[in-house]
Amino acid sequence: MKILLLTGKLAEPIVHAAARKCPSRYKVDILVMPVDVAALATLESISSYLKHRIQPKDYDLIMVSGAVQGSMRKVEEAVGIKLVKGPKHAVDIPTLLSICDPAELSPDIPADILLGHKLRKSVKATLKKIETSIASKPHITIGETFVPVTPPPIRVMSEVTDAHLLTEEKLLSTIRKRIEDGADIISLGFQPGVANPEKVKHSVRLIKKEYDFPLAVDSVIPEEIIAGAKAGADMIMSLEAGNIKKVADKTQQTPAVVIPYDSEEQFFARTVKDKLRLLERNIKTALKHNIKKIIADPVLNPINFSGTTGTFQSLTAYHRFKRQWPEIPMLMGLCNVTELIDADSLGVNALLTMFAAEVGASIVLVAEKSPKAQGSTAETAIASQMAALACEKKTSPIDLGVDLLMLKNKRMIDMPLNTEGAEIVKVEDKTVKRSLDPAGFFTIAVNSEEKTIDVLYCGAKRKILLRGKTASSIYNEILRRRLLSTLSHAFYLGVELGKAEEALRTGKNYVQEEKLFEPRKPIRIDVTSEDS
């Protein structure tokens, strides 16, 4: 197929670079219009320019920038060659031509938007296919949710920690948020070492009355496990050597997570050998007492450099257990690793979920106890979908149509400027003291509870609290109310509101006049000099 790429002067080098990377099955030429930016060209100017330079037999298809306004149908009629809108950014042209037939592109809709819709539709169809296949393969049921013995898919269990400290309203709102974020199962955690069966019973009944959703109780205390099961919990955690016999007759029909722990001996297995030995013993005890719906959790330990008890060893235990007991589904708790590493949870949760898929864990458990772990439910839900798609396609988890690229991009997009004839001023990065605006001043904060940007105005019009979710909405209201009077103040406010909005979107702390993101650099070590 012979394709003509139509571009403007500024993007010409980028388009040439893209054309060189296009699949060899296409013969690609480039035509540069006498405009700086192709997106600013009118339909009439495009028609006129093409009619005088090409013939209908010259090309099978002409691709213009997806940023060009209007439909290409009239241009197509005038030129006699099929015209389509490509991606908005030329850097995406090689990828576009490698994954789709350009003849299927639209004269009206930019290719990246069109493909985005098609890809999302395809992804949903694949995920639905995976979901509907569970019933026909070995699985257990938690509430109304099918959990496969072996993934895909992986179910996400989101734990609400310290449930005993939350008000009813806060407990229900937290659970609603976790469900909205993609949790498949909700787990309740209570005070370690202190039995509070009435609180467990009340919490389970409260939630079950409000939500018809799979609910687990996470406790090793027999009284709490029994209370949870009696109140209607769909799953119990965690059965171990010291409590199995005490709870067995009340939990035989409830799916139960078994862990490598012996509370009577105060022994928590940490090495691969001990994990497998104690877990197998506890499972056999549970089966002997007619607990049939067993889920195994070899327990994922934190990263540890002091011996044979770290994350890698734990993953080895998961892998070996699955080979020995392929008929038992496994649960993997990610919290020990995510909470005990000073790295963004986004990448950590994604990688651990892929490891869970590789070793055959059907459920991953996350919590959002610390600020750095906030959002783990949604992150892991997306990662579980990525794992399912990658398993289905038997590929690495890349180019799936679903991703967790929030802070970085796969490709850099250059936006060239026409600097011809412009005076170039090198601006120094220095702080300039800004004079106060006589109209008043603003104090800005991010309200993490309400998920809003709060802006407090103090000045000639007394005090006004503006609350909104976007920088533009608040800024427009400030202008409407005439709450500022200097250009420098307007620039300052625009910068700060933009930072506040990004903080709200990403979960970062926002402190007025402080940087939102700070690139990290390694510490340089010079062994030839002494530290001062």
What pLDDT shows up at residue 416? 84
3-state SS, residue 386: helix
Residues 112 and 168 in one domain: no
> What domain range includes position 481?
440-506
Domain boundary among 77, 94, 120: 120
| CA–CA dist 306, 304 (Å, integer) | 6
CATH of the domain at 100: 3.40.50
Position 186 in a domain: yes
Position 428 in a domain: no
- Total domain count, the chain: 3
Task: Name the strands in the sheet holding 462-468, side by side, starting at the edge strand that comes first in the sequence.
Answer: 440-447, 452-459, 462-468
Backbone region of residue 181 per phi and psi (left: phi > 0; alpha: psi in -120 to 50; beta: other values) = alpha
**pLDDT tens figures, 330-375:** 999 999 999 999 999 999 999 999 999 999 999 999 999 999 999 9
**pLDDT tens figures, 40-67:** 999 999 999 999 899 999 999 999 999 9
Position 398 in a domain: no
**Interval 367-391 mean pLDDT:** 96
Position 271 in a domain: yes
Q: Token pair of 521, please? A: 């650099």
Of 242-256, 317-331, 355-369, 410-424, minimum mean pLDDT range: 410-424
Checking if the pLDDT of 532 tops 80, the result is no
Structure-token match 């609290």, residue found:
465
Position 167 in a domain: yes
Q: Token pair of 162, please? A: 């310290």
What pLDDT shows up at residue 100? 87
**Interval 195-224 mean pLDDT:** 97
Of 98-102, 276-280, 413-417, minimum mean pLDDT range: 413-417
Residues 102 and 243 in one domain: no
Q: Where are the alpha helices (DSSP H) in 394-513?
A: 471-480, 487-506
Q: What are phi and psi of 440, to 5 degrees?
A: 140, -175
Position 435 in a domain: no
Residues 209 and 272 in one domain: yes
Please state, in angstroms and as integers, the Cα–Cα distance from residue 361 to each residue in 73, 257, 298, 313, following that order: 52, 13, 10, 15
| CA–CA dist 64, 38 (Å, integer) | 8
Residues 195 and 271 in one domain: yes
Residues 144 and 214 in one domain: yes
CATH of the domain at 360: 3.20.20.20
Residues 146 and 102 in one domain: no
Position 517 in a domain: no
What pLDDT shows up at residue 316? 96
**Interval 207-218 mean pLDDT:** 97
* Dihedral angle, C-alpha 76, 77, 81, 83, nearest 10 °: 10
What pLDDT shows up at residue 531? 57
Place 530 in a pLDDT band, splitting at 50, 70 and 90: low
Residues 105 and 141 in one domain: no
Residues 66 and 210 in one domain: no
Q: What are phi and psi of 45, to 5 degrees?
A: -65, -35
Helix, strand, coil shares, percent, the chain, to 5: 40, 15, 40
DSSP string, 32-59: E-SSS-GGG--HHHHHHHHHTT--TTT-
Domain boundary among 367, 393, 419: 393
Residues 87 and 141 in one domain: no
Rounded to the nearest integer, the mean pLDDT of the chain is: 94
Residues 201 and 230 in one domain: yes
Backbone region of residue 285 per phi and psi (left: phi > 0; alpha: psi in -120 to 50; beta: other values) = alpha
Q: Token pair of 151, please? A: 């993934």
Residues 164 and 269 in one domain: yes
Residues 340 and 242 in one domain: yes
Position 125 in a domain: no
3-state SS, residue 153: coil
